[in-house]
Amino acid sequence: MIQHDETAAAPAQLHAPAGRAPAFLPRRAAAPRLSLRPSLALQLLVAAGLGMATAAVYTTLAPWLGAWRALPAVLAFLATGALAAAAWRRRQPAFLEIGPDSLAAYARDGACLASGRLVGASQWGAWLLALVVEQGARRTTLLIAADVLPAQAFHTLAVRARSAAGR
């Protein structure tokens, strides 16, 4: 009879101490971990965009269907947009790890959202960074608003994005 030992089959890095997610274990000591706050500015922009899109759907459908008959379609559009905005909000990074030559973004549950080096497609601005992280052939874009980080950390990311654009 063959006995299955689950602990022997699992890699050593998956055995995390109590309270730590396995995704956080291979962390480098030289890479500081920054905690990100939810961006109020991006959430307000998404809500305003959804409101304007809902108003546009209503003003398009109301002349053809009438005000009351257009309302169910408009409410369905609003609900779909709100669900998409909630899903987008859950996919936003909660922690950043800035290494000397890499960047890693993690979700609140410890899942790695992006890990690799910044590439030349990164864009920067006064209050928003669009960072493109490349790991092999896969590219992931991260939107980092200025209100999610302390000013010094945001400046560090902006400098890294500029230097990645020069490559």
pLDDT at residue 9 in the model: 40
DSSP letter (8 states) at residue 129: E
**In 3D, which of 156, 38, 158 has the Cα closest to residue 93?**
38
Q: How confident is the model at residue 165 (pLDDT cuts 50, 70, 90)?
A: low
| Number of residues written out for the chain | 167
pLDDT tens digits, one per residue of 81-138: 999 999 988 888 999 888 777 888 998 888 888 888 888 766 667 888 888 888 888 8
Pairing mode, if any, of strands 95-98 and 33-35?
antiparallel
